[in-house]
Amino acid sequence: MQVFHTSPWVPPEWIKAHGLEPRGVWLAQDFACEPLPLAAGVCAFANAAVRLAEQQSQSAVIFTTHCDQLRRGFDAVATPPTNLDAPESCRRFPLSPSDSPRCRAVAAGGERAGVRGPSSPAVSGPQCAPKGRGFLSRLFLFNLPVTWQTPVAERIFCDELRRLGQFLIGLGGHAPTTGDLVEIMAQYSEGRRRLLAVAPWCPARAYAEAVARFHLDGSVHLPPEAGDRTASGADSVPLAVVGGPLPQAQLPLLDAIEKAGGRVVLNATEAGERSLWSAPPLGQAQLDLARLARGWLANCVDVFQRPNTRLYDWLRERLTARKVRGIVLWHYVGCDLWRAEAQPMRAAFGLPVLLLDADEAMPQRNTGRLEAFLESLR
């Protein structure tokens, strides 16, 4: 079974080790490719995640709590239709006599399949109507802690991994063996290492696609090395693209930057280089979930963290090393977390920052702003 996840901080190794297929949404087929009707203030990325979840009949979707939009997007997709004709006790989660105990358990819990025990059998589609209990049983909300300096944050992350494991087992997966996990983690680590190694020279679009492909299926497809890229792009302005998710439908942004005379030397969007964490070392003897959680949490570098100093430390090192001359701060409309960072980034790095939003209705405006930004940097 495919398990889509909406954040790179949900360890795909953990999903894979349970015998299921992790699928980062950024390069998922048709994800965020069509303009969707949006209520005022709704983030288009979160909306696309909701749509993805609604369209899945056989796959599972993991939302994360790291932003209000995704957290409440989960609420929107997980709120079952009400039924005034049903008996009062069943009204919020309409049940029928043929519903399985699991359906009833989900209905009672109202949030996810994890309300059942790990040994329960899997729900099959025909048992539950679309957006009924079977649908709900394939949704999971992963509570990503926002703080990171306390034992409580580590415990929350650890607890979520445990819950996620139970959820995956409920979907038909199996408990991971230490051996499998060690092997899978080594594979992912090697993939990340290879991707990190090519970051300094790989063309922006190809790199973004390679990282997104890695998040999609764990594979690494690198373009052939094309000599000294710095020399070939000597006239272009080295830029960093920093910000939120950049799904495949938005990848033309990278082409537009290059066309306007820029050169993306750092992709620090959600599923870019920033998401390529180093796996924590894992002992062969025993699966120590707390240790794993500590290691994974230690690698999380994102804007939502409080304080978000790790993001700034991570950026500072790379912006300096790659001689970046400007930052494109990419965000979705309604994303307060990134939008608020424009001025602090200017102040922290002493670089010009261009705010660009994923406004599907006005791609031309973004092109014009990019051209003006790069012209001012030459």
Residues in touch with other proteins (CB under 8 A) = 39-43, 65, 67-69, 71-73, 75-76, 78-79, 82-84, 91-92, 105, 109-111, 114-117, 141, 143, 145-147, 150-153, 155-156, 159, 163, 166, 304, 306-308, 333-337, 339-344, 347
Nearer Cβ to other proteins, position 144 or 211? 144
- C-alpha neighbours within 13 Å on the C-beta side of residue 39: 6
Residue 287 to residue 285: CA distance in whole angstroms: 7
- Give the residue from 314, 14, 4, 300 showing the smallest Cα distance to 154: 300
Considering the complex, what minimum distance in angstroms separates the CB of residue 342 from other proteins?
5
Considering the complex, what minimum distance in angstroms separates the CB of residue 215 from other proteins?
23
Considering the complex, what minimum distance in angstroms separates the CB of residue 166 from other proteins?
7
Considering the complex, what minimum distance in angstroms separates the CB of residue 100 from other proteins?
14
Question: Which residues fall within 8 angstroms of residue 287, CB to CB, at 6 or more apart?
Answer: 176, 177, 178, 181
Cross-strand partners of 237: 262
Q: Are the beta carbons of 240 and 292 closer than 8 angstroms?
A: no
Nearer Cβ to other proteins, position 118 or 252? 118
Number of other CB atoms surrounding residue 285 within 10 Å: 7
Considering the complex, what minimum distance in angstroms separates the CB of residue 346 from other proteins?
9
Q: Are the beta carbons of 225 and 201 closer than 8 angstroms?
A: yes
Q: For residue 307, is the peptide bond before it cis, meaning its omega torsion is within 30 degrees of 0?
A: yes
Nearer Cβ to other proteins, position 130 or 307? 307
The pair of structure tokens assigned to 121 is 């059998």
Nearer Cβ to other proteins, position 2 or 143? 143
Q: Are the beta carbons of 218 and 244 closer than 8 angstroms?
A: no
Considering the complex, what minimum distance in angstroms separates the CB of residue 115 from other proteins?
6
Longest dimension (CA), the chain: 72
Number of other CB atoms surrounding residue 234 within 10 Å: 9
261 Rama sector, left if φ>0, alpha if ψ -120 to 50, beta otherwise: left
Nearer Cβ to other proteins, position 277 or 338? 338
Q: What is the 3 state secondary structure string of 279-323?
A: CCCCCCCCCCHHHHHHHHHHHCCCCCCCCCHHHHHHHHHHHHHCC
In this structure, what DSSP letter does residue 150 have?
S
Nearer Cβ to other proteins, position 191 or 334? 334
Nearer Cβ to other proteins, position 307 or 368? 307
Considering the complex, what minimum distance in angstroms separates the CB of residue 315 from other proteins?
14
Nearer Cβ to other proteins, position 27 or 161? 161
Considering the complex, what minimum distance in angstroms separates the CB of residue 365 from other proteins?
16
